[in-house]
Structure 1
């Protein structure tokens, strides 16, 4: 077997494979012998079909299969050993191969090559890095969430903002009387705080247990079908038929009393003995928020690195016709129009992929299984943190992360995150960072 690669230009080549009978004969004979043991053919016992008859019926199909397997194996081996920087898969050129009559075969493939370029980053390169300010308000909000999780609920006699009301809801007619055949909901639950209309919300100010109030749910909740159907216990499509006033007899008023900022809460949130005062507790909450924001800042930093380096190296040359054929091959169900519409965008993504590969190689970044495991833990920890759970036991983190690692798509995403995390750290130490302090709101607007 002979394999050769001939460059057409800097970004494309033709790979030629020449296969002789000696390359495949033994494999074909072995496959036919194995087939003979199992094939059933009228007039012959199993395993006793004459080889000449077997070859006549199955020889060509076996030959095609074995030549194809051999060719794929050797082509992949050639590309790997010769470090051919190929984009996509080899695209077969038209051939006049006659498997029924020829013994020697020649196949040719079009190869799209990655463009050659260099990426050099140093302290001479300045790139923005956004430091997100963690404000006292953010800490206050997070602390409030923790105290709410340890809150107690008390029955009270008079209504205040954020209290929960429970009572009898009854539809009224145009004269203000209970409507005959109208809606009545026993044990209806409401929080006037969430009403959209301030005038309707004000109806409940200072209300007491056993008070009967009149309000308009449709106006109060701005005709929101989901909220009204839930409150009135009717289907969404029926909401429009009940836009009048309702009476509400208050039977219970429940108030949430936030938990105390004490050692019990500190230990519950952070772990035993991690904080001994409100000041220490708030400092660690601030540190946790800052760490979460650091990951966001690194993500934005890599976006800016992408833009900076892409501008520095300029537009790369690709074998456009070959690349479009490869893209079409990978999107057969979407057709040429899809390829034409998305081609330039796909090249932008491919360019960043190639840049990132060079940066990863230049910085000696490698991802081990331990990195993937740790990233799975971090992802799990971040999920719990969204619900205010910071002090999550390692055993629970391990269980959740192991489940994550069972899914192939999750592992691929974790590998990519691990690569980008290490790359961000390496590049932050390599270039000059132009630190810019921004608020969370200003930072989020950058992605709008």
Structure 2
């Protein structure tokens, strides 16, 4: 057996594998004998089926399997031995001019295309300047957060007249162009939250309404043409919501208002545990601390995005694009040409980032320890549980869940890659110059939304 590499260019190669009868015959004969011992065929006692009979019935399929196994082992060993840094997996190169008899005496030749990772240098320096935002907790943001928390622990009331932030429990009926109810059209009861209404004029028209009041609603204008919100409100799919042109008759069935919870000891204990917070000043300090932590995370995510875009833009190298496109099509049968064209730029950018990260880890001997993977998985699970329960899990419970979580190979790999990514970000942050800039939460949110 012989395997050789023919360089097409610096990013593409052809691996040629020649397999002779003496390479595969012993493996095929052994596989035939093993199957003869296990076969259960009419007319033969178990384990007594002649190998010649098995060869006659299943020989070609066994031969194909063994050739495939031999090819896979040979490719993997060659790639490892030669230290080939490949992208994707080798792709068989079809040659219709070659025909084989599969009669246990053929000399086979198989060609595989491989895409090679590019050679490149990293040139991050302190002359590279990136903005690191420091988000300020302003009074408006703090007040809004406190209001939302108090409402989460408040009680529902039913005032006579609607006000800002109320919810109108309503009947929504689809109208014809002439203003009459469209027969057979959408007719749904729905909770219309005034805080979600985008158009100020429409929002104003919904304030001051009482039970049984009727108004006409331009639903697309009200929700800023947000198909997802309209679909959820009317219980239709997003495509239908996007195409919806009709106005609706809104009949108020009830006005619901979520009153804010009182700032008392019972409220503090529900939020932070018994006796942890005892005054309104301590409560505000706790919420400020929580906001600062959230904002620091938001700012760090923004910086990571900046580093990602900066690094993938600064480090210049080519990829074996045509090979990678063929590989993507081969490994994703349902991927259309249009989807490939639309998504390839993002795929190649992510691949560039992966190659940059791998090089940083290798060249700087950055270690990835299990303790770090465990700690991050534990942190992610803790945040997830807190979304559904205000009462945190004990350290012992959280540790047990983390062990179970990491026993899943896919989960473990995902967290491992996340740890590696964080270390790559930290390395780049230690090299470039970070220009710290204070910014209000409102301005930061507008910046992220751009």
Q: Distance in 2 between matches of 1:353 and 1:404?
A: 25
Counterpart of 1:202 in structure 2 is: 208
Query: Is the contact made by 2:28 and 2:66 (CA closer than 8 Å) also made in structure 1?
Result: yes
Matches of 2:163 and 2:273 in 1, distance apart?
33
Residue aligning to 2:329: 328
Give the Å deviation of 1:80.
2.5
1:432, distance to aligned residue in structure 2 (A): 1.0
Q: After the TM superposition, which of the residue ranges 345-354 and 43-52 deviates more from structure 2?
A: 43-52
TM (normalized to structure 1)?
Answer: 0.72
- Residue deviations 1:270-319 (CA, integer Å, cap 9, x gap): 345654543343233222222222232222222222222233223x2233
Once the two structures are superposed, residues 35-88 of structure 1 have per-residue CA deviations (whole angstroms, 9 ceiling, x without a partner) of 112335555444333333332332232122112112212321221233211011
Match of 2:379 in 1: 378
Corresponding residue number in structure 2 for 1:299: 301
Unpaired stretches in structure 1, ≥5 consecutive residues: 170-188, 205-212, 231-239
Counterpart residue number, 1:6: 6
Does 2:214 align with 1:216? yes
1:117 aligns with 2:120: yes
Q: Helix, strand or coil: the match of 1:327?
A: helix
Deviations 1:4-60 (A, max 9, x none): 333232111222323344443433222111211233555544433333333233223
Residue 318 of structure 2 is aligned to residue 284 of structure 1: no
Alpha-carbon offset, residue 435 of structure 1:
1.7
The SS at the match of 1:117 is: coil
Q: Does 1:431 align with 2:432?
A: yes
Report if aligned partners of 1:10, 1:115 keep a CA contact under 8 Å in 2. yes
Correspondence for 2:134 among 112, 128, 131? 131
* CA–CA distance in structure 2, aligned partners of residues 165 and 337 of structure 1: 43
Residues in 2 aligned to 1:76 and 1:297: alpha-carbon distance in whole angstroms: 43
Q: Radius of gyration: which is bigger? A: 1
TM-aligned CA distance change 1:323 to 1:298, over 3 Å: same
Query: What pairs with 1:17-56 in structure 2 (closer than 5 Å)?
Result: 17-41=17-41, 43-56=43-56
8 Å CA contact 1:128–1:433 kept in 2: the answer is yes
Alignment of 1:155-234 (within 5 A): 198=204, 201-202=207-208, 215-216=213-214, 218=216
Greater Cα shift, 404-413 or 24-33: 404-413
Measured after TM superposition, the shift of residue 347 of structure 1 is 2.4
Mapped partners of 2:192, 2:107: distance in 1 = 83
Distance 1:256 1:351, change over 3 A: closer
Q: In the comparison of the two structures, how many residue pairs are matched?
A: 408
- The equivalent residue for 1:142 is 145
Partner of 1:107: 110
Q: How does 1:237-386 map to 2 (within 5 A)?
A: 258-271=260-273, 274-275=276-277, 277-314=279-316, 316-383=317-384
Q: Structure 2: 5+ residue runs without aligned partners?
A: 172-190, 224-229, 236-245
Q: How far 1:419 sits from its partner (Å)?
A: 2.8
